[in-house]
Structure 1
Amino acid sequence: MFLTRFRINTARRESRNLLSSPQHMHAAVMSSFAGALPSAENSSRVLWRLDRNAKAEVLLFIVSEERPDLTHLVEQAGWPTTAAWQTYDYKAFLDGLSLGTTWAFRLTANPVHHVRRTPDEPRKRTAHRTPRHQMGWLLKQQENAGFKILETPAERRRLLQGDEHQLTVRDERRHRFSKTELITGKVNEVPLVTVTFDGRLEVTDPVALRRTLTSGLGKAKAYGCGLMTLAQAG
C-alpha cells in the first residue's frame, strides 16, 4: 500500500476546475495509475481526499495499492519546475498499529441514512444535514471500523449536548452532478454532501482499523470520501 501527498497550485485555472468537481478530480486521480481501468472495481481500490487547510494550501491525499504517477497533475495543477509529490510506503505504518494507542485523525465522508415518508414508500438514501447528526453517523461506524473516538473529560465540556467526544465537523460542501447509468443510459442528477471530521481516537481493533484506512469508510469513495488518515496525537 502507498500513501501519496500532492500540493495543488490553487492559482492555476485547471486547479480551480479540478477543485470544483469531484468527477473531474476522480478522473485525474485514476489517471495516475497505469494499470487502472475505468470501472467501479478499480475505483474502489483507490481512496483520495482534499484537505483545504487554507485558500492557498490545498493538499491531495491518495491511498492505493499501486504506486501512482502524478506527472500529469504536476503539469496541470502544480509547480512543474520546483515541486512534485511525495509517495510513502504505507505498509510499515499500518503494520505498526497496536491496540490501545491513541491518534489524531482526519476523515472526509458522506454521512447518510435511509428514510421513507410513508410505510409503503421505498427507503431512500439521504444525507445528514446537521453537525449533530453527522457526528452521530460517525459514532455509529466506530466499533466496526476498529476505533473508539475519545470522550471529552467532563470538566472540559462546554455544551449540555454534542460536546461529549473529542470530535469536530467542518467544511460541509454540497455538490450536484449528472451521472449516466451504464446499463440503461439514463442520466440521473446526483446530490453529494461531504463533511470533514477532525478528532482523536483509540485503536480497539488493529485489523479492522487497517481495513478502514485502506478500504475507506462510508459511501461516495470515488468522489473524495472515506479516506481517514492518522497523525501523532499531541
Structure 2
Amino acid sequence: MTYLSRVRMNPLRAASRNLLANPRALHAAVLGGLPDPTADERILWRLDNDNPHRPHLLVLTRSRPDWSHLVEQIGWPDADGEHAAVRDYAPLLAQIAVGREFAFRLTANPIQNTQTPDKPTTAQAKLLAERAKAGEKRGRGFRLAHRTAAAQLNWFLSRTGRWGFDVPGVRSDPAAPGIRDLARPDEATETGRPPWDPNPPYEVRITARNRHSVQKNLKGAPVVFHSATFEGRLLVTDTELFKAGLLGGIGPSKAYGCGLLTLAPLPKG
C-alpha cells in the first residue's frame, strides 16, 4: 500500500517555525510518523507554502502513518477540520495510462555533474590540483546546482522523457516573430548547452525558487542546495517510468523535501 498525507501547519507555533526553517528537522519529524519504517522504504515529502499563513506538509509513504505528534506540535489540535488527511494512493495509480493528462506540481533540486567547474570552490580546486598532480585525467564529477530560472527550466524539460511524461506546448497563438523557443536537448549547440529561454512555450512555470543551507552537525560545513517548484500540465508517455517517478521521487535531495511529484485533475474549460 501507498499513502499520500496532507498535514496542516500553524506557522505561529514555535515548533512550526523551527521545522519551516530547517528541512533536516522536518525530515526527522516526518520519520516520526511511521512506527517501524523499513530500510528500503522511500519516504517523499514536500512543504507547500503558497499561503505562508497556512502552509501544508505533503508526505508519501508505503505504510500508513500517524501524524498525531505533528498535529499536537505544529497544528491546531482542538480546532475544527481535518488536521491530517491520509489517502490511499491506489485509486490515483489506477488512473495512470499513456495519453492521460494531469496538472502537476514538483519541487526539485536541479543539478548538473561536471568535471571542470567554471568557478571551483577552495575544496574543489584542491581536489583538481591533486588529480592533476597524480596524472588523473578523469575522476568523479562535481555536483553543481543550476541557479538561474532558465537553467532550472531546461534541466526539467530535458529530462521529462526519462520520467515517463512530456510537457505539452502552450495552447495559445504562436510567439511573435523573433521570439526564440527554448531548444530541446537534440537542438543543443556545439558546446552541448542549449539556448535557454526563461519563458519557454510549454505548459510549465516555476512558481518558487529557494536557496537552502542545512547544518548536518556542529562541526561540518552546511549542506547548501537550490530548489525550484515547477507547476503545469503533463502528458503520460510511459506508465512504468511515470509510476516509478511518482513512487520513488524525482532528482536528488529527497530527504530535504525535493522529488515529490503530485497530480491533480486538469481544470475544465
Aligned to 1:195: 228
Find the partner of 2:49 among 49, 52, 65. 52
Code of the residue aligned with 1:103 in structure 2: it is F
Find the partner of 1:160 among 168, 177, 180. 180
Larger radius of gyration: 2
Match of 1:54, SS state, is coil
Please, which moves more after superposition, 22-31 or 185-194?
185-194
**Deviation of 1:168 (Å):** 0.6
**Deviation of 1:88 (Å):** 0.5
Inter-partner Cα distance in structure 1 for 2:249 and 2:92: 16
Aligned to 1:26: 27
List runs of 5+ in structure 2 lacking aligned partners.
Answer: 118-127, 129-136, 182-196
Aligned to 2:58: 61
Inter-partner Cα distance in structure 1 for 2:54 and 2:174: 31
Inter-partner Cα distance in structure 2 for 1:232 and 1:23: 32
Inter-partner Cα distance in structure 2 for 1:176 and 1:65: 29
Code of the residue aligned with 2:30 in structure 1: it is V
Normalising by structure 2, what TM-score?
Answer: 0.78
**Deviation of 1:187 (Å):** 2.7
Aligned to 2:147: 129
Aligned to 1:107: 106
Normalising by structure 1, what TM-score?
Answer: 0.89
**Deviation of 1:120 (Å):** 6.0
Structure with bigger strand share is 1
Inter-partner Cα distance in structure 2 for 1:60 and 1:68: 13
**Mapped pair 1:77 → 2:74:** yes
Aligned to 1:8: 9
**Deviation of 1:153 (Å):** 4.0
Aligned to 2:121: none
**Mapped pair 1:221 → 2:221:** no
Match of 2:49, SS state, is strand
Inter-partner Cα distance in structure 2 for 1:213 and 1:156: 32
Inter-partner Cα distance in structure 1 for 2:56 and 2:174: 32
Report how many residues are paired: 226
| Cα distance change of structure 1 residues 75 and 156 upon mapping to structure 2, 3 Å threshold | farther
Find the partner of 1:150 among 158, 168, 178. 168
Aligned to 2:245: 212
**Deviation of 1:121 (Å):** 7.1
| Cα distance change of structure 1 residues 186 and 16 upon mapping to structure 2, 3 Å threshold | closer
List runs of 5+ in structure 1 lacking aligned partners.
Answer: none
Match of 2:24, SS state, is helix
| Cα distance change of structure 1 residues 24 and 155 upon mapping to structure 2, 3 Å threshold | same
Inter-partner Cα distance in structure 2 for 1:3 and 1:157: 39
**Mapped pair 1:178 → 2:215:** yes
Inter-partner Cα distance in structure 1 for 2:175 and 2:77: 47
Give CA deviations for 1:114-153 in whole Å, capped at 9, x if unaligned. Answer: 1223776752101101111101111122111110011124
Match of 2:216, SS state, is strand
RMSD: 2.1
Inter-partner Cα distance in structure 2 for 1:233 and 1:202: 11
Inter-partner Cα distance in structure 1 for 2:36 and 2:156: 33
**Deviation of 1:154 (Å):** 5.9
Identical-residue share of aligned pairs (%):
36
